[in-house]
Structure 1
Amino acid sequence: MRELVYYVAASLDGFIAAPDDTFDAFPQTGDHIDMILREYTDTIPTLGLRATGLTPPLTRFDTVMMGWGTYAAEGEHRRGGPYEHLKQYVFSRNHTADDAVPEVTVTDEDPVALARELKQQSRSDIWLAGGGVFASALVDEIDRIILKINPILLGSGKRLFADRDYSVADLNLVASTPYRSGVVINEYTLDRSS
């Protein structure tokens, strides 16, 4: 069964974006970028893939789920949306397919129900791209968290998870890789057996 993976960058104080939904304060250069280009090619926006000449293998992810804020934060979308190489699901209560490019599925469907349905398919994993409110709605479906912790303090902004009543889940650290850039990639699995 495929997993729902929350793969996201965050500041040291737990924010995934500034208050205006931008994330350009996160380091865009450094040795951690080499790893992302090599191991997480599937998560590079289509425009970035074209600029670098990379081809996503779609072995890690072939589907992305995101909230409207994350979709909109990617800026102007040419052709098939920010990740046209992936099956793109954008969740919104206020926007419709008319507000997006045709290759993007905009839905107000229950994200938990759709995540469960998608996880039953035998394909590559599903990337939960954010944001924090959307991740909070799906927290009970997340199987793995890959957190790119950046050596900055934003002070305020969009949190990794929005406030809500969580069911208790222990996180098991399965890998932690520090980079000279100061970025640390931590990978966790969620254990809900307790």
Structure 2
Amino acid sequence: MRELVYYVAVSLDGRIAAPDDAFDAFPQSGDHIDMILREWTDTVPAVGLEVLGLTADNSRFDTVLMGWNTYAAGLAVTADPYPHLEQYVLSRSRPADAVPAGITVTGRDPVELVRELKQRTGAGIWLCGGGRLAAALAGEIDRLVLKVNPVVLGAGKPLFDDGGGYRPQSWDLVRSTPYRSGVIVAEYARVP
């Protein structure tokens, strides 16, 4: 069965973005970026792949899920961020024609959607963001891969944003890799 992986950058205080949805306080260069380009190529937007001359092989992921705000954060650059992946934007208020062909906007129950996607053959399913979608899918997430950045935002979008009703869950640390940039990539598997 395919896994749902919440792979996301996060601050030391558990924020995936500042209050204005910006994430530019996270280091945009350093040795952790080399690792992302080498090992997580499937998560690099098409614009970045093209500029860097890279090709995503979809060996890690072939599907991406994101909330509307996460999708909208990249609209200044492109309306089709991951054409190499099957893209789902979850929104109950946006029409299907709000995005280019090849991207599915859906107001479906995210848990139902993920359970259906997990039954299909293929590579992993990447939960790109945001925090509200992650909270809704908390019980379906199989792995957390956190790019912990050496910055405290003080406020902003939490890793899991459900208004304070999140239930504690236990995770096993699979690996943790520190980088000279100060970023630590920590991977956790759900405790059965």
What is the TM-score with the length of structure 2 in the denominator?
0.96
Q: Is the 8 A contact 1:10 1:17 kept in 2?
A: yes
Aligned to 2:181: 181
Between the aligned partners of 1:143 and 1:136, the Cα distance in structure 2 is 13
User: What 5-or-longer segments of structure 1 have no aligned partner?
Assistant: none
Q: Are 1:176 and 1:184, in contact at CA under 8 Å, matched by a contact in 2? A: yes
For residues 151 and 12 of structure 1, what CA distance do their matches in structure 2 show?
Answer: 6
The question of 1:96 aligning with 2:95 is answered: yes
1:70 match: secondary structure: helix
1:164-184, Cα deviation, whole Å (9 max, x unpaired)? 534442100000000000000
RMSD, aligned α-carbons: 1.2
Match of 1:73 in 2: 73
Matches within 5 A, 1:1-194: 1-76=1-76, 78=78, 81-162=80-161, 163-191=163-191, 193=192
C-alpha spacing 1:168/1:158, structure 2 compared with 1 (3 Å): closer
* Identity score, percent: 60
Partner of 1:93, secondary structure, is coil
C-alpha distance in 2, partners of 1:15/1:176?
A: 19
Q: Taking structure 1 as the reference length, what is the TM-score of the superposition? A: 0.95
> Could you say what secondary structure the match of 1:56 adopts?
coil
Structure 2 stretches lacking a partner, 5+ long: none
Query: Any conservation in 2 of the 1:140–1:167 contact (CA below 8 Å)?
Result: no
